[in-house]
Chain A
Amino acid sequence: MLWLCLRFARLPLEVFTHSQPECTQPIVIIEQHRVHCCNAHAEDMGVKIRSSWATACTLCPDARAIERVPAQEQKALQSLALWCYQFTSAVSVEAPDKLLLELQGSLAMFGGLHALLLCIQQGVHAQGYSLATGLAPTPKAASLMSYSKVQASNYINSSGLGLVPEKFTALLNALPVSTLNTSEQIIAKLCRTGFESLSDVLHLPYAAAGKRYGKAFVLYLQQILGEVSDPQSTICLPESFTESLHFMQGITETEALLFPMQRLLSLLCIYLRVRQLHCTTFTCLFEHQSGQDKTQIQTLKLDFSRPQNNLKHFMVLLGIKLENFTITAPVESITLQANKLCRAEQASATLFPGFGLAADDSTLRLLFDKLSARLGTNAMYGLCMQDSHIPEYAWQTQPVLHPASQHKRPVPYQIKTGQRPIWLLNKPLPLQCRRHQLYWHGKLELIEDTERLEGNWWHKPVQRDYFVARREDGTCCWIFQDRLTRHWFIQGLFG
């Protein structure tokens, strides 16, 4: 058995920068107010790992600070694991930042350790990640060796199919005690007993060590040395494919989308190959921020008449589709989804995409489908209430064909408001005012009390006095006077 450990030392940082490695801004990753990781530009300014965020701020005020996102690191690690599947089927994840590959079976196919290592290193670098490698006969030893300052290629033997034992042992023994993957208390205890490097620890009598540091620790040592077996659990491949790329500086031109799309599509192809599947359609979601809080998504869907798994094919069709596609705002992330997959030979059945409607609503569904086919999907919508005093924000449309979004908090019904009309106009329409008399296709007469509504000063201030007015022909209207401009408008009609 021969294990290779891939350690992604800067993963917390590179999950943000890997798609745009040429970024020149200093970037600092923060966890619990301490610097966890930073890029070379920040290091140049004197920022150090484990220093406090306040110190980093003072040394490098231009630094872009990002809170660490472990979930994103895990996803990236999974995606890298998937990518490694092309080299061997024995891939396991050692959280938070390592992958373990068992290579014995793949050596022949890839032409020896040197070639294989080179291939892997180049592939990882191309994806924008930095890498440290370690080789060993056991997975835990390989994990440790990834911390060695000496590169793995230096202790591969002349045949290229194994390691040089003396060199390997010497390097392993030289590693400091702090690299051991055990609790901080145990490492502290080891240091206080004067143990500095692994050579001091690996050859302690097991009984004595167990008494002092626990049986689990002794087991760990034995697994490092290969005296006890250490089975690894290999990764499971997901059922469908979803991968994303994030960009710190948004992409503004359509042509610039091709390169990252190609990366995503090649990952898709690896996945399809490994699972022996083809896909009939995939969807690209382009996400961008517009103003505060809102993310807008532009979708691009590609359908194929026959199931495919060919990268070239994907790229050609994508290129054609992108010609007619315009980006409305700088794209901050791209997600590729492929969940309609099938075996190579069968043609996929035309599934009717589920839109969250109940199964027994079949006649309704049919009606919606016909209408959307005739008028377009955006021509239909429903209404819902949002939590706000200002009427145009309180009343929102929602598309009928997508599941209703959950409110963060139920709208409090006990709030006493004035009357509300049935029909709210899209936009308030101005009224005419001639000689103290209001007109909107007829004279208006105020009948009910004022209701004063104010708010939204953090975005666009609203200050209005609302009235109910009756028109000559009997229609009741909901009108207001804008206190800032002193103009009159109508906003709704009562039944």
Chain B
Amino acid sequence: MYAELHTLSNFTFLRGASRPDELVQRAAELGYSAMALTDECSLAGVVKAYVACKHHAVKLIIGSEFTFEEGSKLVLIAPDKAAYGELSTFISLGRRRSNKGEYKLRLDDLRFGIKRCLGIWLPEIDNPEKSGARLCELLPQGLWLGVELIRKGSDQQRYLNLYKLAKKLNLPMVACGDVHMHTPKRKILQDTLSAIRLNTSVNKLGCLLQSNSEQYLRPISKLKNIYPQALLDESVRISERCNFSLDELRYCYPKELVPEGHTPQRYLRQLVEHGAHLRWPEKIPGPVLALIEKELLLIEEMQYEYYFLTVYDLVQFARDKKILCQGRGSAANSVVCYCLFITEISPTRISLLFERFISKEREEPPDIDVDFEHERREEVIQYIYKKYTRERAAIAATVITYRARSAVRDVGKALDLDPLFVDQLAKSLAWWDRNSDLKKRFEEHKVQDREQLFAQLVQEILGFPRHLSQHVGGFIISEGPVNQLVPVENASMPDRTVIQWDKEDIEALGLLKVDVLALGMLTTIRKCLTEIGLYSNAVPDIQSIPEEDHATWEMLCRADSVGVFQIESRAQMSMLPRLRPVCFYDLVIEIAIVRPGPIQGNMVHPFLKRRSGIEPISYPNDEIKSVLERTMGVPIFQEQVIKLAMVAAGFSGGEADKLRRAMASWGKNGNLLQFENKLVQGMLKRGYKEDFAHRLFEQIKGFGGYGFPESHSASFALLAYISAWMKCHHPAAFLCAILNSQPMGFYSPSQLVQDARRHAITVEPVDINISDWDHKLEAVQAAIKAGVQPSVRLGFRLVKGFGKASALRIMKEREAQAFNNLLDLSRRAQLNKGEMESLANASAFTSFSAHRYQAHWQVLGIEETRPLLSDTESSSQHSLADGVYLPPPLPQQDMLADYQSTGLTIKKHPMEFLRSCENARKELKRCKRHTDLQHLNNGRFVTIAGLVTGRQRPGSASGVLFLTLEDETGNTNIVVWKSVQVRFRQSLLASKLLLVKGVMECKNEVIHVVMGEALDLSYLLDDLAVRSRDFH
């Protein structure tokens, strides 16, 4: 029997060539009694190994390998929980002192840091005695001399030397393998990883590669031939001393969340009751009370109270500071969360399914994600650090792994292929072209002998970890110091630290994790409320927005949804006039229904068919009706799938949730089949016909598997409704708010402004004496009196090359007195020439100079004189011109300059110029515009032209390409089928201004043009700063 005590997995980045689970599985197959995972100064892989060990009969020991500054190499393993805490702290010490990805440890650090861990010393070749003696002194609790015999020649001599050394220092010897992979076949990959790590190619590494592939998990029979039996037995003896398991890390929750004299259960119940009274001031409905009981009981049974209490505390903080926040995802299925004000979905609006959120069978703690205003999320993060201190709160990691492109690049480089060739290979995996004839390309470059190797290595390396990075918002919070639970290292952001485990690892061990996410729309909503507050006190907060507002539904049915949360994309806009939402639940369905899957392209969702009466609705019985009635008999939501399994086939809540998960990954593994049988059997037992059971299963597979959770869709529907209402009734305030919250959303500022102007909002240009940094409403009182919307004055934030600090100085100086001229401005606001130029280019000086060219000329002429002379204006405005008076720009030049300096224009649209100029192309003159299309019949031939502002090729829509062309009246959707794409490839790929000839299609007020021919007219644009956003 044997226990391997020195193993590296691929979490020793770019050295180990096997995954932790592969190592565990192989060790079990070989009959090892135990295996220690000892990645270098890291515990990043141990949880993955721990999860694997649940399915294999081999004991896992936690440890880590270190190379000290003095040159000694040591493996430390943890026999118990206290030793584990030491090890984790020790690793953190080494990592925190160094740059990201490195560590620094001296032998002295062992003196105070390690008192319980056991050590295996791997002696160096020259003069090992001195360090050996030192280590003996530092690790009195247990030190062994590790003997690693890997056929490097003179193994026998080496053994003799080590034997003498061990005798001299009085150390026991143990056999180990310096394992880097689970099978020798991985040597090729291991060499490649070395090449990548050393930034060279394999053929140039020479002796830096290992000379053979013996460093793998060897069969015990082989080991018996290499090592004396005593050394093998010693490994087992050591492993028997180690009995630590990662389960022991559970349940260390921050105690301060529960006040004195309460138990967590009692405190939670108290908070929930208090919240319920706030939510239902009159009387709490009976069913709600029952739900609350049910949920609290399960929470108590699973001991999940702290998860709720932690998030409750964060949400309270945010609400105190008036930071908008909302829970998302499956958490909205919980009434407890609703009562704690973590989520905003009431059980009266949608039917909640707690099992989708928590269930006994899941064995996973609840995942409560909360969105905060994106600009203020940092305040919440600082609150966490302050409350729990940096010792007890840390950010989860994300493991950055090899994807297709990075794999191709790094493997290509390691195999010494020509860099441009590798580039070409990497890019031909790009979104547009999926066919790459690998063999042919290799032949062209005369390296055909390497093609097999290349393909094999790329496959093997996919998914391998490269390095750790900071997770977006996942925090781990613990009762004691975090670095005793898991090592903490430096992230690349200064002053930020990250733990070595990712979200999956944290969940697998049941540690407390909260997700602090950012959502741009929450910022927009809050800013909009503030703007509205300038002229009306009817809407002080979200709750005062009237529900089910008719005008809002009408607006959405017209697909007038630019800027509205979640339903502003091209795909959503095509669905809105068909689905025609007229109540909140319709919106919940609308958001969930437009998803990747078989619904893209021209296929009509069966839900729509039933709604419009094309297909009949029928239910086999009342049970199923109760689940599917709200979606016309079509399973759309994940919760429906779960409920169906429970109601029709007798699954328990937890089992049904497993089914739901199996569906989400049904392409990736074969779990689904076992569920199919169970479902069908369960339904048969309840009296359903077999044929029906199979059909239902197919339906579930087809739509339910792709669907959103209903709760998540509902949370988003809330925000969609709010933003739609604001856009409908307070469009100027909404425009202001959404522009001030950029970057976010689907549309650029240019598109948002154009949409607003089409809704009769006046937008005023940037002006030095009027604008602020932020965009703002203007002439509010006058507008309200006249019954129109206020104007929106654009702010300095739009000007390229101009910063906030300078804008604030301008605003401050202006309070005292407005600026008289350019010199006055530059002196008082202390603007340098570059900033003045930026403002001049943005046409902000129209009150000082005739036009932007003259302004620019004058600005360039400002001399940076000494402040002493500021009173005696040695050069006046007039002499700033130096006698040169320039002609004004042509209108189209003016417009182009607007785009270059601010990214948008409020003058004529480029298309308008192109159509009306003297030598306009005759095709352009004859083109239709977007608004003209409304008056044409279905099936009519049309010619239309516009700026290409969107290119989208959803993966599942049978290769169809969607283009968006923008002209002065709106955005037109162009549909390009595959056969047409081939003919006009060049234009479609690179064009900025396209003329399209095709057939117009109009169904349910949704207008498309199906392209037949295209003409690239980009040359007409020169350097317009409108860029197209490519998706997918």
Contact = CB atoms under 8 A, between A and B. Distances in A.
Question: Do A and B assemble together?
Answer: yes
Contacts of A58: 427-428, 430, 432-433, 989
Interface residues of A, number: 56
A411 B208 CA distance: 10
B616 interface: no
A311 interface: no
Contact of A212 (B153, B841, B861): B861
A54 interface: yes
Contact of B857 (A212, A408, A451): A212
B151 A452 contact: yes
A53 B419 CA distance: 13
B990 A208 contact: no
Given A389-B207, A411-B206, A192 B856 contact: yes
Contacts of B203: 292-293, 458-459
B860 A212 contact: yes
A458 B202 contact: yes
B860 A211 contact: yes
A207 B882 contact: yes
Contact of A411 (B207, B214, B424, B886): B207
A465 B206 CA distance: 19
Contacts of B817: none
Interface residues of B, number: 59
A390 B213 CA distance: 14
A408 B856 CA distance: 56
B423 interface: yes
B853 A193 contact: yes
Nearest to A48: B990
Interface stretch (A13-21, A61-69, A155-163, A358-366): A61-69
A396 to B, nearest CB: 12
Nearest to A196: B893
A457 interface: yes
Contacts of B450: 458
B883 A205 contact: yes
Interface in B850-882: 852-853, 856-857, 860-861, 863, 882
Given A194-B853, A204-B884, A211-B861, A54 B427 contact: yes
Contacts of A295: none
Interface stretch (A223-231, A336-344, A414-422): A414-422
A414 B125 contact: yes
B986 A451 contact: no
A193 B857 contact: yes
Contacts of B861: 208, 211-212
B206 A387 contact: yes
A58 B206 CA distance: 37
B156 interface: yes
B620 interface: no
Interface in A437-495: 448-455, 457-459, 465-466
B420 A67 contact: yes
Contacts of A466: 153
Contacts of A59: 985-986, 989-990
B979 interface: no
A245 interface: no
A205 B433 contact: no
Given A189-B860, A414-B125, A205 B882 contact: yes
Interface in B393-439: 415-416, 419-421, 423-424, 427-428, 430, 432-433
A55 B990 contact: yes
Nearest to A458: B202
Given A58-B989, A59-B985, A211-B860, A454 B213 contact: yes
Contacts of B684: none
Residue of A189, A389, A448, A459 most packed against chain B (CB within 10 A): A389
A169 interface: no
B371 interface: no
Given A58-B432, A211-B863, A65 B420 contact: yes
Interface in A200-231: 204-205, 207-208, 211-213
Contact of A418 (B152, B420, B856, B990): B152
Contacts of B206: 386-389, 409, 411
A354 interface: no
A54 B211 contact: no
A115 interface: no
B430 A417 contact: no
Contacts of A448: 154
A292 B416 CA distance: 9
B153 A451 contact: yes
A408 B247 CA distance: 51
Given A45-B986, A411-B207, A452 B212 contact: yes
Given A65-B420, A388-B206, A192 B211 contact: no
Contact of B882 (A211, A386, A411, A418): A211
Nearest to A51: B990
Interface in B465-520: none
B278 interface: no
Interface string B150-164: 011111110000000
A46 interface: yes
B152 A454 contact: no
A57 interface: yes
A418 B153 contact: yes
Contacts of A48: 990
Contacts of B430: 54, 58
A59 B432 CA distance: 11
Q: Which 8 A-B pairs have the closest CB atoms?
A: A418-B153, A387-B206, A451-B153, A194-B853, A46-B986, A208-B882, A212-B860, A452-B212
Interface of B: 125, 151-157, 187-188, 191, 202-204, 206-209, 211-214, 415-416, 419-421, 423-424, 427-428, 430, 432-433, 447, 450, 453, 837, 840-841, 852-853, 856-857, 860-861, 863, 882-884, 886-887, 889, 893, 897, 985-986, 989-990
Given A58-B427, A194-B893, 20 more contacts: A30-B420, A46-B986, A51-B990, A57-B427, A59-B986, A59-B989, A61-B424, A192-B856, A193-B856, A193-B857, A194-B887, A293-B203, A389-B206, A389-B211, A416-B125, A449-B154, A449-B155, A455-B211, A458-B415, A466-B153
10 contacts: A51-B990, A54-B427, A55-B990, A58-B433, A194-B889, A205-B883, A208-B883, A412-B208, A416-B152, A418-B152
